[in-house]
Amino acid sequence: MSAAITLTDVSFIYPGSDFSFSCSHLEFPQNEVTLITGHNGSGKTTLSKLMCGILKSVTGRVDIFNRDTKNLTLGEVGKCVGYLFQEPTQQLFTPTVWKEMTFVDEILGRTSNETERKALDLLEWFGLTGLKERSIYYLSRGEQQRLALCTLLMSGANFFILDEPTTGLDKNNRKRLYTLMDDLVARGKGFAVITHEGELIDKYAYSQVRLEKGKVIA
């Protein structure tokens, strides 16, 4: 199975900090859900930010679909890898659901019938069609999360990094999230999921990366 993201001989240290991260080799395959687990402070967030180019490694390289992140802008990375924050409102910026779906295309001057069709198809798939004109601030957490995922798909991302995606979700919304993830994997997408959630770990136990003190231990 091909790797969406590969880390090779990577090291990173925060300036003025004694925390360091290192990894000799790690691959995150496409068409699969890989969990990133470990105690608080183990390096999960550092790893995820290296994977999406927010942080640049001191040594080694991080490849996204065979391209070194050091040679990519964040905009170029965003076309391949989508990052879903633990708090989805951190990445929702416009007044309504529909504006959020078409925001990027509008500012790039490329809105078209194709853009609108894609947005409508995604809203229908994610169960958000009836909320098209609703303010993003009047959505439930689960709805905000699904909308954020929709916007990442609008950008063209094929791999997604989710930071504690089940936080604050009730049972029904967790099941809806798992179904969407499975559907996306079936369509060729890949996931890396930071989590402490036992239910999520049990569901995707076949593929895990466990961190401790900035190192991959399993």
Q: What is the pLDDT of residues 142-191, one digit of tens each?
A: 999 999 999 999 988 999 999 999 988 899 999 999 999 999 999 999 99
CATH 3.40.50.300 holds for 1-75+192-218: yes
pLDDT at 22: 96
Neighbours of 6 (CB within 10 A): 19
Instruction: Give the residue among 69, 73, 53 at the shortest CA–CA distance from 61.
Output: 69
Tell me the whole-structure pTM to 2 decimals: 0.91
pLDDT at 45: 93
Neighbours of 171 (CB within 10 A): 8
DSSP code for 208: E
pLDDT at 44: 95
Burial 136-169 (b: 16+ CB within 10 A, else e): beebeebbbbbbbbbbbbbeebbbbbbbbbbeeb
* CA separation for the pair 66, 83 (Å, rounded): 19
pLDDT at 109: 65
Domain boundaries, the chain: 1-75+192-218
pLDDT at 82: 94
Give, for all 218 residues of the chain, the pLDDT tens digit. 579 999 999 999 999 888 999 999 999 999 999 999 999 999 999 999 999 999 999 999 999 999 999 999 988 998 899 999 989 999 999 999 999 998 877 766 666 788 899 999 999 999 999 999 999 999 999 999 999 999 999 988 999 999 999 988 899 999 999 999 999 999 999 999 999 888 898 998 889 999 999 999 98
pLDDT at 190: 96
